[in-house]
Amino acid sequence: MNRRALLKSMVSLALAGFAPGGSFAMAADTGGPLPARADGELDIHHIDTGRGNCALIVGPDGTAMMIDAGIADVKAETSGEPRPDGSRRPGEWMGRYALRCVASGKLKYLVVTHLHADHMGGVPDVDALVPIETVIDRGYPDYGQAQPPVSPYTDTYLAYVKARRARGCAVEKAIVGSDRQILMPGLQVRSIAASGCVWTGAGEGSETHLPDLASIPLADRPGENVFSQAVRLSYGKFSYWNGGDLCCDTEDGRLPWWDTESPAVRVAGRTEVATADHHGYFDACGPEYVRSLDAQAYIVQAWDIGHPGSAQMQRMEDDWPGRTLHDVFVTDLLPANALMNRRFAPKLKSRNGHVVVRVAKGGESYRIFVVDSSRELGDVTAVFGPYRCRS
């Protein structure tokens, strides 16, 4: 090969691997299983079952926690296929996944962001496979004025946590503002919001963003999503946001107390990686969400035809004239959604699969792996990074 042809080949390879937004899509580590986590690395697995949210966090020393374990009761025409298949319940797939990643075979914590089935319906199945030391619920046992919804899934979950307490197993109410309730070596995990209360940004102070709900007509009271628990995790310069289903929609200002997302993200501040609140649905991930978090990478835990919305996808990508694209990963983008979002979907970094954030020892940089979720032991399909942490 002559010198000109060699240079042309090198440029072509570089362009093929370059991913807009400052990341680099690498061929290394693809086509095989996810490399084992090394001691000192932090892993955050966004597990794609096609049926609900689940984030497994394995800390630098191997201590593990999970945020949500959901099972969505969905209609086939508006949702994706169960991943890897429908032979097991979603919580069982999550538990089996966790057992492959957690050497101790147990979870120190499981954070239930709120009481919707696609976030907590699989918790008992996970616990049966991977024993949970402490369940952290947004408001158990009384919930105050932020009462949970009435549903069979709620009844099953509440019976489960009641049975845990009877056996002497820990179930704790989220302490908003605290960074001492969740203790994992090397990490700081702070509770930012829960049940309508939000951290003040000072010490462990918190304040409610809800009026007296008893004085509000029933139709104007916020739903369960508004009460979501949100956490911010830090490791060195790396930081991560998970806000459950926090929402910002106020029916065009008529119901301002429905927006608990904006005050929560304002106090959380800039974050390296963020999950999309409420799956990036039309009523979440508002302007304040992207302005305050300003993440390098956003992860949409999707399974429904409406995940994510067009405005939300554009905001997370920062797809405006003269702007640098941000990286957005989706665990399960339905074809109908891709068609609706045909302006923005081609710029996504992934449309299906588990999304694994691996933070280097010390928290200075990280990579993002996309893993095939159509098989229980799927291969890595893409790798992005390294991303340098900004603060």
- Res. 188: pLDDT tops 80: yes
pLDDT tens per residue, range 241-291: 999 999 999 999 999 999 999 999 999 999 999 999 999 999 999 999 999
**pLDDT tens string 300-329:** 999 999 999 999 999 999 999 999 999 999
Radius of gyration of the chain (CA): 20
In a domain, 204, yes or no: yes
pLDDT of 335 strictly over 50: yes
Q: Which residues pair with 64 in a beta bridge?
A: 58
Average pLDDT for residues 150-175, to the nearest whole number?
97
Whether 112 contacts 70, CB under 8 Å:
no
Q: What percent of the chain has pLDDT over 90?
A: 90
Q: Is residue 145 part of a domain?
A: yes
Does a structural domain hold residue 18?
Answer: no
Does any domain span residue 213?
Answer: yes
Residue 29 belongs to a domain:
no
23 pLDDT higher than 90: no
Report d(CA 57, CA 55) in Å as an integer.
Answer: 6
pLDDT of 9: 39
pLDDT at 366 over 80: yes
What pLDDT is recorded for position 73?
80
Please report the DSSP string for 274-291 in residue order.
EEPGGGG-TTSS-HHHHH
The reported pLDDT for the residue numbered 76 is: 79
Tokens matching residue 170: 């820990």
DSSP 72-141: ----GGGB---SS-TTS-HHHHHHHHHHHH-TTSSEEEEEE-SS-HHHHTTHHHHHHHS-EEEEEESSTT
Residue 74 is predicted with a pLDDT of: 80
Q: How confident is the model at residue 71 (pLDDT cuts 50, 70, 90)?
A: very high
Looking at residue 77, its pLDDT comes to 85
Report residue 356 as tokens: 């694994």
Whole-number Cα distances in Å, 110 to 69, 137, 281: 9, 9, 24
**What values do phi and psi take at 352, rounded to 5?**
-160, 160
Domain membership flag for residue 3:
no
User: What separation, in Å, do the N-terminal and C-terminal C-alpha atoms of the chain show?
Assistant: 45
| Confidence check: pLDDT of 6 > 90 | no
Residue 27: the pLDDT is 53
Q: Are the beta carbons of 89 and 82 closer than 8 angstroms?
A: no
Name the residue range of residue 239's domain: 34-388
User: 45 pLDDT exceeds 60?
Assistant: yes
> Given this model, what pLDDT does residue 72 score?
86
Average pLDDT over every residue of 171-182 = 98
In a domain, 9, yes or no: no
Q: Please check whether residue 96 lies inside any domain of the structure.
A: yes
- Rounded to whole angstroms, how far apart are CA atoms 132 and 2? 61
Please tell me the total count of domains within the chain.
Answer: 1
Sign of CA dihedral 245, 249, 250, 253: positive
- CATH number of the domain within which 209 lies: 3.60.15.10
The pLDDT of residue 87 is 97
pLDDT at 26 over 80: no
Examine the pLDDT at 16 and tell me if it is beyond 50. Answer: no
Per-residue pLDDT, 134: 98
